[in-house]
Amino acid sequence: MFAIRTKRLVLRDLALRDVPRLNEFFTDRVVTRKMGFVRTRNLRETRAWVKRAIFHNRKRPRFAYSLAVVTKKDRKIVGWIGFGDTDKKKRHIAERDFGFAFRRDCWSKGYGTESLRGITDFIFCELKGRSFFGDHDVTNPASGRVMAKCGFRRMAPPVRGIRAHSHAYILTRASWLKRRRG
């Protein structure tokens, strides 16, 4: 099973056993209100979503990573983070993009920042990526702060392919290397 390890977390491939825990926050409208890609209404829809994610995780060559964010200390799922090749409509922005969602009771604990740094390091070190981007709804500035803490730079609007009510952020390999060198 694929996994990325950080100081406090393990970001690992999703498994069917994760469905009940993921369902707790995938169905929470406060968590997913501005997210079209991770919104489910019930356990059945969450199971179907996880099955699709597992299917894509198993494709070779691998183009998508859909990961449970698990604490090392107590092995509890606190969130989800996913990344992969950018679709054709957004390829002009960057080669890869990402999304994340965390349990409401796990907000403001640094899990988003730590997870994003983990996948960013993996993309630039292991996959030899050149560019990586994410976007968030303007009414969710916390996601923008997570991206900024990880070195992402906000792009000037409008960004073709990004919804008008979203802010897009990008991180290039050159900027990531510069940041790592301190």
What are the strands of the beta sheet with 64-71, ordered from one edge?
3-5, 9-13, 64-71, 77-85, 96-102, 131-137, 166-172, 153-154
Q: 114 CB contacts (<8 Å, ≥6 apart)?
A: 6, 7, 8, 9
Distances (CA, A) of 155 to 85, 93, 131: 19, 10, 13
Look up the CATH number of domain 3-181: 3.40.630.30
The domain limits of the chain are 3-181
pLDDT number for residue 36: 66
Q: What is the mean pLDDT of each run of 10 residues along the chain (182 residues)?
A: 97 98 94 79 96 97 97 97 92 94 96 98 96 93 96 92 91 95 82
Please state the pTM of the whole predicted model.
Answer: 0.95
What's the CA gap between 133 and 152, in Å, rounded? 8
pLDDT number for residue 74: 97
Task: Report which of 143, 108, 91, 124 is spatially closest to residue 4, judged by C-alpha positions.
Answer: 124
Pairing of strands 131-137, 96-102: parallel
Task: Report which of 118, 120, 14, 131 is spatially closest to residue 65, judged by C-alpha positions.
Answer: 14
Please give the angle made by the CA atoms of 65, 66 and 71, to the nearest 5 degrees: 115
